Amino acid sequence: MDFNDKLPIYIQIMNYLKRKITSGEISECDKLPSVREFSSKLKVNPNTVQRAYQELEREDLVFTKRGMGTFVTEDDDVIMKLKKDTAKEVISNFIGEIKGLNFDDDEIIEIILNEIKKED
């Protein structure tokens, strides 16, 4: 993981973990690496990782069990909401760009359907 963005590191760590959760690489109830372990892997200050975990906890995506570590939420709804939020973000980016190509709405939908069929 590279941190060459201009964003705060803890937000980058959060985004990284969110991607892992939405893609299913880390699934419900999985234990996240310990702060020390993860900070050593990412080569960042443990306090930064701690902060990222705290922020994720505030968003209800993870929870801590005293003395056991940090775990991904068991609540499907929360994960579904994260997925939908992420999807919204992806789509709004997409729409922004495709509108720049000067297609009207029907044309856009048609292009999307064609592409999805190809993927299948």
Partner 1 sequence: MGNLVEIKKLSKNYFNKKALDNLDLNIEEGKVLGILGPNGSGKTTLIKILTGLLRQSKGEVLIDGHNVGVYTKSIVSYLPDRNFLYNWMTIEDAFKFYIDFYSDFDLKRGEELLDFMKLGKDMKITSLSKGMTEKLNLTLVLSRKAKLYILDEPIAGVDPVARDQILDAIIKNYDSNSSMIITTHLVRDMENLFDDVAFLKDGGIILKGNAEKLREEKGKSIDEIYKEIFSK
Does 102 contact partner 1 by CB under 8 A?
no
Does 118 contact partner 1 by CB under 8 A?
no
Dihedral angle at the C-alpha atoms of 15, 58, 84, 72, nearest 10 degrees? 80
Rounded CA-CA distance 108/98 in Å is 8
Does 32 contact partner 1 by CB under 8 A?
no
The two tokens of residue 112 are: 């999307």
Q: Tell me which stretch binds partner 1 (CB under 8 A): 40-48, 69-77, 80-88, 108-116.
A: 40-48
Does 27 contact partner 1 by CB under 8 A?
no
DSSP string, 57-105: HHTTSEEEETTTEEEE-S-HHHHHHHHHHHHHHHHHHHHHHHHTTT--H
Q: Tell me which stretch binds partner 1 (CB under 8 A): 46-54, 66-74, 83-91, 106-114.
A: 46-54
Does 70 contact partner 1 by CB under 8 A?
no
Which residue in the set 8, 29, 64, 94 belongs to the binding site for partner 1 (CB under 8 A)? 8
Q: Which residues bind partner 1 (CB under 8 A)?
A: 3-10, 36, 39-40, 42-48, 51
